């Protein structure tokens, strides 16, 4: 399947689901955390699909990968913030573990996609890692563990 829009990427869709979950749980955080952990968790979660989208529209594989690495970093940041939220008794262990599992899955999909971008195929040889990306590049990130 040829992906023409970042919204068709399973990794982007899963990122949006994580954003929804984070907004739901942080709605219940104490008001004193509004500009602290609540804000940080929301920004980190929003960063994941936002950077996937921004990278997708870039013309170069190297740039796309850089944005995906930012998304991957935001996953690690969010995972850490979940631990903090649990330690502060803002979320249950079960909720923390469920969201951590979702974030881990998202991270694996991102890593898989990063590995696939810019790979040479029998039909194309990339002269440099900064060669212009074809608009009909096929991404096979299906959401399954690759």
| pTM metric for this prediction | 0.79
> Would the CA dihedral through 17, 70, 4, 113 be positive or negative?
negative
Q: Where are the alpha helices (DSSP H) in 8-92?
A: 10-26, 37-56, 61-87
Separation in Å, CA 60 to CA 3, 4, 24, 34, 56: 16, 15, 36, 38, 9
pLDDT at residue 146 in the model: 33
C-alpha–C-alpha distance, residues 1 and 23, integer Å: 32
pLDDT tens readout for residues 110-141: 999 999 987 733 233 333 333 444 433 332 33
Neighbour tally for 138: CB within 10 Å: 10
pLDDT at residue 52 in the model: 98
pLDDT tens readout for residues 78-107: 999 999 999 999 999 999 999 999 999 999
Cβ burial of 75 (10 Å; 0-12, 13-18, 19+) is buried
CATH architecture of 6-116: Up-down Bundle (1.20)
């Amino acid at each position: 399947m040829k992906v023409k829009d970042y919204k068709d990427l399973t990794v982007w869709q899963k990122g949006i689901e994580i954003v929804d979950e984070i907004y739901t749980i942080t709605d219940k955080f104490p008001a004193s955390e509004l500009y602290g952990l609540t804000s940080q968790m929301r920004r980190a979660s929003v960063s994941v699909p936002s950077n996937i989208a921004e990278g997708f529209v870039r013309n170069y594989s190297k740039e796309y990968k850089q944005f995906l690495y930012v998304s991957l970093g935001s996953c690690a940041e969010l995972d850490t913030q979940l631990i903090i939220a649990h330690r502060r008794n803002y979320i249950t262990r079960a909720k923390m573990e469920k969201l951590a599992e979702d974030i881990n899955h998202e991270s694996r999909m991102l890593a898989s996609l990063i590995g696939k971008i810019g790979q040479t195929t029998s039909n194309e040889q990339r002269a440099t890692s900064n060669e212009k990306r074809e608009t009909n590049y096929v991404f096979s990130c299906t959401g399954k563990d690759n």
